[in-house]
Amino acid sequence: MKVTVKDFEVFKSLDVNVIIAYLQRNGWHEHSRIYDNKGAIWVKKNDAGDVFDIGLPLTREFADYPARMGDAVKTLELTENRSQLEILSDLITSLDNTEIQGFVVKVDREDGEKIAKVVMMGFVVNKLRKIYVELKETDCKLALKAYQDRIPVTCGGDLVKVGGSFVMQNVQGFALMVEEAKGDEIAIAVI
pLDDT tens digits for the chain (191 residues)? 465 666 777 888 888 998 999 999 999 999 999 988 899 999 999 888 899 999 999 988 888 999 999 999 999 999 998 888 888 888 888 888 889 999 999 999 887 788 899 999 998 877 888 999 999 988 998 999 999 999 999 999 999 988 878 999 999 999 999 865 455 554 455 55
The CB density around residue 113, as the number of other CB atoms within 10 Å, is 11
In a domain, 2, yes or no: no
Distances (CA, A) of 186 to 69, 88, 145, 180, 182: 39, 33, 21, 6, 6
In a domain, 3, yes or no: no
Residues 104, 152 within the same domain: yes
Residues 37, 124 within the same domain: no
Residues 46, 86 within the same domain: yes
The tally of domains found in the chain comes to: 2
Q: What is the pTM of this model?
A: 0.68
Residues 102, 49 within the same domain: no
Among 72, 91, 110, the domain-final residue is 91
> Residue 67 in 3-state DSSP?
helix
In a domain, 1, yes or no: no
